[in-house]
Amino acid sequence: MDFKKKITEISKKVGDVATDTYNTVADKSGKMIEDTKLKMSISNNKEKIDDIYRGIGRTIYEQYKDGEDVGKVFTKESKKIEKLFNEIEDMNNRILLNKGLRKCETCGEIIAKEAVFCSNCGKKQKPIKVKEEKKANSKDSKEETVKEIVCPQCGTIEKVNANFCSKCGYDFKK
């Protein structure tokens, strides 16, 4: 009877380890897929920027050739480029967050997502406010919203509804 009980316990432990490993691999795979999609979108936006650059040259020359004022055209096309550059920056930041990293708000150095101070310039970092992320609940088809905050005192990641930091006791209600 003892032997059967030990085999059952060992089987349960092996099953738990396998489940944990599966969950870890699934999470990392999901982040890799998201990173790949973001990188493809970045490449697509860069191609759009190049198209706009070529279009600006062609449009400016054609309007110039027709004797028109070209000032407004520059502004309109430049705003399109600026929007695409902002989208690229946002996607690059999301890739960093998937890797547990972010940029220092002061010097732009890449630091840990939970860092309270920059290791390059020493400036204190604001907590990251993670945007709402919808994940499908595996038990039913409803969507659950996941929100996180970073403790400004120690950098621990907590759920948005936490009243206190689980590591240092910081009061989030302040």
Domain ranges of the chain: 1-99, 113-174
155-162, Cβ contacts within 8 angstroms, sequence gap of 24 or more: 155/112, 155/114, 155/115, 155/116, 156/114, 157/113, 157/114
Residue 142 has pLDDT above 70, yes or no: no
How confident is the model at residue 121, as a pLDDT?
92
Of 69, 130, 64, which is closest to residue 97 (Cα–Cα)? 130
Looking at the chain, the whole-number percentage of residues with pLDDT higher than 90 is 30
Find the mean pLDDT for residues 20-37. 88
Residue 144 has pLDDT above 80, yes or no: no
* Cα distance between residue 97 and residue 129, in whole Å: 11
Residue 101 has pLDDT above 60, yes or no: yes
Identify the band that residue 40 occupies on the pLDDT scale cut at 50, 70 and 90: very high
- Is pLDDT larger for residue 14 or for residue 132? 14
How confident is the model at residue 135, as a pLDDT?
43
Tell if the pTM clears 0.75, that is, is over it.
no
